Structure formats: C-alpha cells, structure tokens
Amino acid sequence: MKTKADFRTLCVHAGELKDIQHGGAISPLYPSTSYSFTDVKVGQYPRYFNTPNQRGLSEKIAALEGAEAGMIFGSGMAAISTALLSHLKVGDHVVFQDDLYGGTRNFVKHEFPKYGIEFSFTKGLLAEDFKKEIKENTQVIYIETPSNPTLKIVDLKAVSAVAKQQGIWTMIDNTFASPVNQNPISLGIDIVIHSATKYLGGHSDICAGAVLGTKECIERVFSSAKNFGGSLSDYTVWLLERSVKTLFIRVQAQNKNAQLIAEFLDQADWVDHVFYPGLASHPDHALAKEQMHGFGGMLSFNLAGAIDSKKFLLSLELIKASMSLAGIETTALSPHLTSHALLTEEERLAQGITPQMIRFSTGIEAIEDLKADLNQAYKKAIK
C-alpha cells in the first residue's frame, strides 16, 4: 500500500498480510520461529525482526510516521536503548532535553558511563539551549515533545536545522503525541521512537516499542538490535496490529476530551494552573499549533493549595489513579509521588513539578462523566 493514502486508511490497511489460503479478513498470525530457507543466506527469525507479522506491523507504523522503514521492539525502553546505542560508541556525546521520560533518564545515567559515552542535559527547551550543549564529539540530539509532565513544546524544525548544520543525528521520543498528532520526520528529525505501550497499543494490555527512520538508519539500528535481542513476540505483534487499526479514532476522541477537560479545569477555582498546549494561554500554543496536527490526550494541572492532592487522587471513582497513560480509560497520577519520584527535589522543582501537580491521561469516556468524577473528588479532598 502506498504511503500517500489517508492516515485513517493507513491505520487500517498499511502493512496488512493477506490470508491467501482461507481469505480471512485480518492478517494471519505467524508465530513460527523456524522458516525454510528461500535463499541460503538469510532466514526469517523473530530475533532478526523479520517474521511476517513483525515486517507487516513495522511497515504500518513506518507509513503512519512517513518513514522509509521501521522496527518493532519488546518495550519502549528496548527501542530507546537500542536506537541510542546503535548510533554511539565510546567517546561520543549526546545532548538530551532536560525534561525527559524517567526511564530514559535512568538508562542514560546508569548505562552511558559504563560504555564511556558522554551526555549533557539542556538548561531550557529552545533551539539555542540545544545548540549550547553541542560539543565536538556530539553525535545525537535527543528530544521529547510535548514533554512530560509539563507539556512544554520543542521547536522540531529549529532543533533539526541546528543538528543538520553540524552533521548530528536527531532522535525524538514521539510517544506523547502519537503519530496522529505529530510526524517529526516531516519536520527534519531523523529517528522517531515510540513506546507502543501507550497510544499505539491504547488498551493498557501491550508492552512494546517502535523505531522509525530511513532505511539506512534502521539498518544501523538492526545491526545492534539483533545482538541485544529485544524483539517482540509475534503474538503481541499481531495484537498490536489490531490496536493500531483504531489509532486515529481513539486519539482523535482523546484529543477532544483533553481539550474539554483542560478548558473545564482552567475555569475551576480549585485548580491553580493547567498545562495543556491546546489552551491559548499555554506559552507554546502557537508553536504546538504549527507543528502538531492535534494537541494530544495528555495534560497536567496544579491543584489549589486548599486541596489535598493525595486525597484527591484516592477519591477519584471512575478515573483510575494509575501509573500508565494513553489507554482508552482516563488515568491520573502525582508525578511527585510516582513517575518523577526518583528525581531529586531540586530536579523536580527545576521542571516545575510540585506535590500539587496531577498528570492526566484522557480516555474516551463521556466528558460529563469525567467532569462529575473530578468534581466529586475535589470536594472530598478539601483540607
């Protein structure tokens, strides 16, 4: 299928496998770990990322990101660690955005020193903040936008222009936006990574990751990936393909609900501040509007001082107080107590994370039910 088809059509049909034997409507599942040689050199094998289901799903997700090629991994972290290490060697340097997914931050801090790879974090999120950290040995600039949990936006065109001038690879963790809301390759970014555990899976029942880029980039990633061995079981690949078919309608519903919740919270006297790029008052609203197709399903807000944040979370009835995000069910958490608990107090405050902050992942439920749950919860949590 040509990648020029409409995004919705690609979600359903790109990369699908035909059931030639029985004419079934969906891609057959091929869980085989052994295939007879069609050519004596290269066999199909799950850890070579080249079984029929793996190739079909890679093609689908690559099509959604407008990428030449892609690979599916056993988790988002397998995708991130493999993408990074395949592009780095001892003595290289990486510039990381300061507001980074906690698991990525831990990976970098724990593993990079062992391999002699240097790194620094930006002091801000402007293109010049990235430029300032570039050194002679910088090989990769690594971005995450919208950021977690304060939903700040990085100008992808500007950062990729800085990187291109100096022959540096750019990588982005595009998990929060999903391919529905942002396609970084069209803005000049080289490698796009997803935790497919989030929007691509969308039902809180799959752990997976994806890396997308040019054929050349993906070949480089593959050359390390087959050694690290982080492939995904074909059973899960098959399930993930089913999820991606509904990606567009799910994320569109989540975008819509998030905008309505953000506007509702913005008006509420029990909320001090709302972080959502879809609000005109968000400092990066204009940039988000320019580089994104939608503002996403993620938002954060600070409860007013009179509300006990822990009690608020525990008083929610319909909305789940839970660690994960991007599922069709709405979830909320305290970054201070959970996702960002491992950071020092200083690091948290530098990112604007206080104990009053709630991170909110909007699902597809009826908006009135979500509002009613928030309203009853804050009333129970008044100090």
Ligand X SMILES: *Cc1c(COP(=O)(O)O)cnc(C)c1O
Binding site residues, ligand X, CB under 6 A:
75-77, 101, 103, 148, 173, 175-176, 195, 197-198, 207, 209
**Are 82 and 57 a contacting pair, CB within 8 Å?**
no
CB-based contacts of 219: which residues, under 8 Å, 6+ apart? 69
User: What is the smallest separation between the CB atom of 324 and ligand X, expressed in angstroms?
Assistant: 7
Nearer to ligand X, 44 or 361 (CB): 361
Q: For residue 27, which phi and psi values (nearest 5 degrees)?
A: -65, 130
60, burial (CB in 10 Å: exposed 0-12, middle 13-18, buried 19+): buried
User: What is the smallest separation between the CB atom of 76 and ligand X, expressed in angstroms?
Assistant: 2
The Cα 176–Cα 174 span in angstroms is 6
C-alpha count within 13 angstroms, C-beta hemisphere, residue 201: 27
Nearer to ligand X, 108 or 381 (CB): 108
Position with the least CB separation from ligand X: 76
User: What is the smallest separation between the CB atom of 234 and ligand X, expressed in angstroms?
Assistant: 18
Nearer to ligand X, 51 or 148 (CB): 148
User: What is the smallest separation between the CB atom of 258 and ligand X, expressed in angstroms?
Assistant: 16
Nearer to ligand X, 75 or 139 (CB): 75
Helix or strand (DSSP H, E) at 348: helix 345-350
Nearer to ligand X, 72 or 287 (CB): 72
The Cα 266–Cα 235 span in angstroms is 43
Nearer to ligand X, 203 or 371 (CB): 203
CB-based contacts of 240: which residues, under 8 Å, 6+ apart? 57, 72, 196, 200, 201, 206, 208, 232
User: What is the smallest separation between the CB atom of 144 and ligand X, expressed in angstroms?
Assistant: 6
> 3-class SS at 193?
strand
User: What is the smallest separation between the CB atom of 173 and ligand X, expressed in angstroms?
Assistant: 5
Nearer to ligand X, 52 or 149 (CB): 149
Candidates 216, 221, 153, 219; CA nearest to 187 is 153
User: What is the smallest separation between the CB atom of 74 and ligand X, expressed in angstroms?
Assistant: 8
Candidates 11, 18, 82, 10; CA nearest to 52 is 18
